[in-house]
Amino acid sequence: MRRPLILGLSALAALGTAALTLATCAPAPRSPSAAPSLAGTSPAVATHSGPFQAGPVVPPANGALLGAWVKPAAFGQPARIEAVNSFEAALGRPLDLVNTYRRFDEAFPAQSDFAFADAGRTVMLSWAIDDTRVLTSGVQDAAVRAWARHVRDFGHPILLRFRWEMDRPNLQAAMWSAADYIEAWKHVRTIFDAERVRNVSWVWCPTVEGFAGGYAPAYYPGDDQVDWTCVDAYAGRQLRPLDELLHPFLAWAAHHPKPIVIGEFGVAAAWGTASRAKWLTDAATTIQRNPQIKAVSYFNSNPDGNGPNQQFQLGDDPPALAAFARLARSPYFNSRTH
């Protein structure tokens, strides 16, 4: 086992900034009093149940893995570990996977990554890049090779979300086009293969808005390039049930024989305790009736500077937390113990 790499304060601050960036392509804000009904939506469909060729992170034969991004009280490695431990204590069970964020200029792995993986949790690494055309030009190849070696030497299987939410409008200047994104994906994968990285499952993860708008599928690198498909879905500026949010994505994913991870999902504090608890209860039903969904990861964070319709932390809302804890303790989301 390699000695853990400890991030400096500046890198940790940057990590926090990256982790708290949410999709900005959601519809215009709506008052909580104008919330639509959660009933009456058509069912989502994602029918593949496996087995899947999914890389080193193998999906469960039945049920789904449960994970989260848990914002720490302060951005430091001990605080990061403590935040996850406290969230697990509130749920009454360990997480199966832990989401973590890194920018291209940050270090991986860190102390917390080793702590989580050594305890049996799968690390889901959400990795940001700066510019697709700069990446494919070759000027950053040495840095990509260094990343590949660090990931390889980490040793544990990881889910790698390469520039998640690439379809967000506020990322288009850096992504350039769907073709540029796909070229960057393939360029990085080629380098990782050359460095003999064998512990990565490649995860492609756009937004639900990108599927509702019809522009996300153009970014898909292909079934031969992707191990897990993924999407991020929030009831933020609008209170829409997860079933409804996911429907366009799941209809697309049903034609691709890949396991699905819901990379980020959450329901905002703006909608009140009762609505949040019901949303989470209904979300559990949606996930369970789609056997292709093999992992989910809650975004347990109140990003700094965001209003109530973009705050998703559950700890200060006991009934909502209790609803999520019921989901977390159900047999369907405890596939590793059944």
Within a domain: 50: no
Within a domain: 273: yes
Work out the angle at residue 82's Cα, subtended by the Cα atoms of residues 276 and 315, and round it to the nearest 5 degrees: 15
Whether the bond between 157 and the residue before it is cis, its omega within 30 degrees of 0, is no
DSSP 12-41: HHHHHHHHT---S-SPPP--GGGPPPSSSP
Within a domain: 251: yes
- Position 45 scores a pLDDT of 73
pLDDT digits (tens, 9 = 90+) for 99-136: 999 999 999 999 999 999 999 999 999 999 999 999 99
Alpha-carbon gap, residue 204 to 181, rounded angstroms: 11
Segment (H or E) for 68? strand 65-70
Q: How many domains would you assign to the chain?
A: 1
Inform me whether the pLDDT recorded for 3 exceeds 80.
Answer: no
Q: Are 64 and 297 spatial neighbours (Cβ–Cβ below 8 Å)?
A: no
pLDDT digits (tens, 9 = 90+) for 62-99: 999 999 999 999 988 999 999 999 999 999 999 999 99
Inform me whether the pLDDT recorded for 35 exceeds 90.
Answer: no
Question: What residues contact 178, with CB distance under 8 A and at least 6 apart?
Answer: 215, 218, 219
pLDDT digits (tens, 9 = 90+) for 188-226: 999 999 999 999 999 999 999 999 999 999 999 999 999
Within a domain: 20: no
Within a domain: 33: no
Question: What residues contact 291, with CB distance under 8 A and at least 6 apart?
Answer: 46, 47, 48, 49, 50
- CATH code where residue 331 lies: 3.20.20.80
138: left (phi over 0), alpha (psi -120 to 50) or beta: left
Report residue 336's pLDDT band, with 50, 70 and 90 as the boundaries: confident
- Position 44 scores a pLDDT of 57
Within a domain: 77: yes
Within a domain: 22: no
Question: What residues contact 153, with CB distance under 8 A and at least 6 apart?
Answer: 2
Q: What is the mean pLDDT of residues 315-322?
A: 96
Q: In the structure encoding, which two tokens stand for residue 244, read together?
A: 């409804």
Q: Count CB atoms within 10 A of the CB of residue 301.
A: 24
Q: What is the mean pLDDT of residues 264-274?
A: 97
- Report the percentage of the chain scoring pLDDT > 70: 86
Within a domain: 279: yes
Full domain range(s) for residue 207? 56-337
